[in-house]
Amino acid sequence: GQNIDQPTEMTATEGAIVQINCTYQTSGFNGLFWYQQHAGEAPTFLSYNVLDGLEEKGRFSSFLSRSKGYSYLLLKELQMKDSASYLCAVLDSNYQLIWGAGTKLIIKP
Amino acid sequence: ETGVTQTPRHLVMGMTNKKSLKCEQHLGHNAMYWYKQSAKKPLELMFVYSLEERVENNSVPSRFSPECPNSSHLFLHLHTLQPEDSALYLCASSQDFQGITEAFFGQGTRLTVV
């Protein structure tokens, strides 16, 4: 079967760095997405990786290793507003999005 | 504001009621989606429409009935629901239905079935 694994919950301190991991086993691969979802809000797009390596966008970076079936989202200089759930999703060979259950990130002062 | 608007935001309905969820997008996208989001579970894709034609139906019970009258509007008609159908229902749109481009989500309808 197809599976996306990410930690259920993480806690970090304001100003620090946190890495949220995502491992996947899917039938084929056409890219990996990260979305952010604040409580009671719509998920919003953060990043899309289809080639190996690190993509940086301001305080957020996303890394992909296709051979390892692994990605991470790196958040630097954490702010209280970064408290949210982070969703990992993989586009499989049929161009279907397979979603993880999300990682709830709690930022403490 | 994400460009995708869902109404109502909250809905409580009895198991014998009939109600409809509405979604509207003003982004000029060709694909629209209904997702179900339950606590601590992955997003479940329910239906996909591309250019007003249904292209995906992921074994969703017939008590959920989608309708796409035009490329900007999507409805989810509900009838004879069960308590386990209580969840957040999210609508999304994207430029194409193959999923390569990012999806824009509405804020969802929080549905409670009593």
**Predicted confidence (pLDDT) per residue in A21-51, tens digit:** 999 999 999 999 999 999 989 999 999 999 9
Going across the sheet that includes B73-79, the strands are B4-7, B18-25, B73-79, B64-70
Asked whether the beta carbons of B49 and B74 are under 8 A apart, the reply is: yes
* Chain B environment of A31 (Cβ under 8 Å): 100
Contact yes or no for B98 and A101 at CB 8 A? no
Q: pLDDT (tens digit, 9 = 90+) per residue, A2-12?
A: 899 999 999 99
pLDDT for the residue numbered A1:
76
Q: pLDDT (tens digit, 9 = 90+) per residue, B32-90?
A: 999 999 988 999 999 999 988 888 767 899 999 999 999 999 999 999 999 999 999 99
Contact yes or no for B102 and A48 at CB 8 A? yes
- Chain B residue with CA closest to A30: the answer is B100
**Residue A104: pLDDT over 80:** yes
The token pair at B24 is 């509207």
Mutation target to probe the B interface, by most B beta carbons within 10 A, among A6, A29, A35, A45 is A45
Mutation target to probe the A interface, by most A beta carbons within 10 A, among B4, B105, B110, B111 is B105
Preceding amide of B8 cis, omega within 30: yes
Which amino acid is it at B35?
Y
* Chain B environment of A23 (Cβ under 8 Å): none
Residues 6+ apart with CB under 8 A from A56: none
The token pair at B68 is 């796409």
A83/A66 Cα distance (integer angstroms)? 28
Which amino acid is it at A70?
Y
